[in-house]
Structure 1
Amino acid sequence: MKRIKQVNESKEMIYKALMDLLLEKNLEDITMTEIAKKAQVVRMTLYRHFKEKEDIILFGFDRNLSKVLDAMKKKENPTLMDLLVLRFKILQESPYTNILAKNHKLDKLFQTIGARNIHHFSDILPKVSTPYENAFIAGGIDTLTKLWIENGMKESYKDIATEVLDIIYRLKVL
């Protein structure tokens, strides 16, 4: 138990150090050595937890996403629209989305959103008959999301969630 606490504290220190450095310079101008020094950890500790700077950002994103998803789980009878709105709201309001997009790490971001957290809501997701259909739907949503982010997230999170749901129903995918 003590080891888990120590690992979590190290990760938090590293995350905070990167966030502080991002106030001063762009991500591409920050080195892992600078992050370790600012966090007051040795580089080996930094690399034990994170392979690259974007992984530190994903750690922060995942931590915040978990809090929001926990609150969503408490909602009575959530719908697919609720999940889509949540997805796009988190992305639009997060300071990390543009940083990850600029550094070509959106695929890692989608893995964080999907694989680690969506299992909480398997009971409200539409049932599809094959894993291929599931992959098709997920891939389509990720591709649309990536395009929306790359186009500057001009539509509100509610509008883009509605667009996704309209496409799904128009194509009679679900």
Structure 2
Amino acid sequence: MVQTRRKCHIMGNKERNSYVRNAITDALLEMLKTRDLSAITIGEITEKAQVSRNSFYRNFASKEDIIRQRILTYLNEWRNRMKSEKSADQKHIYFILFDIAEQHKDFFLLLRDTNLLYLLQDEFFKNFGPTDEDNEIAAYSKAFFTYSTYGFLETWIRRGMSRTAKEMKKMLDQGASDKDL
């Protein structure tokens, strides 16, 4: 149940679960603005989110899992947009990634500022990198795509994301000139 302006709204299980997950995630992200992840307790997160510890453990395995799941949400958004826009243009695929990252710039810069970019790297490689089941060609192709894409994304984040997604695409379109190498 959520109360807003003297009205109570009864939520279904799916809606309630989504509410709890978002409340926990928002609470942790807010706390990360001033404290290290290791200094934040599950109890503090649930208190700030106004949910029970049981709710936390029903939805997350750890504090890192909260961040991983938010990252996964954004990676799935990228995957879904790639499928829906059906672009074969590699640069447009990068643009979609940059566009999504730009929309969530505060989150990605928070990962940088709290030394949690390794969580983004882990999820990126787990979702797009080569697997043991891939044949040799697929494995090398995925490795090239994943390492180059993640490297480009991480460099942009580490540099403060001062360029827009459109500027990043334009940079890819132009390529690096010899004087830049």
Q: Is the structural similarity TM-score above 0.5?
A: yes
Identical positions, percent: 23
Q: CA RMSD in A?
A: 3.8
CA contact (8 A) 1:61 1:96 kept: no
Aligned residue pair count: 156
Ranges in structure 1 where 5+ consecutive residues have no aligned partner: 120-127, 169-174
Structure 1 position 150, deviation (Å): 0.9
Structure with the bigger RCO (C-alpha within 8 Å, sep 6+) is 1
CA contact (8 A) 1:27 1:99 kept: no
Find the structure with the greater CA-based Rg. Answer: 2
Q: Summarize deviations over 1:103-146 as a string: whole Å, max 9, x none.
A: 22223224445644x69xxxxxxxx9341242133212212221
TM-score if structure 2 supplies the norm length?
Answer: 0.62
Ranges in structure 2 where 5+ consecutive residues have no aligned partner: 1-11, 130-135, 177-181
CA contact (8 A) 1:62 1:112 kept: yes
| Residue 12 (structure 1) aligns with | 22
Matched, 1:129 2:131: no
| 1:129 partner SS | helix
| Residue 102 (structure 2) aligns with | 92
Report the more deviating stretch, 40-49 or 148-157.
Answer: 40-49
TM-score if structure 1 supplies the norm length?
Answer: 0.64
CA contact (8 A) 1:141 1:164 kept: no
CA contact (8 A) 2:124 2:150 kept: no
Change (3 A) 1:108 1:167: farther
Report the more deviating stretch, 9-18 or 93-102.
Answer: 9-18
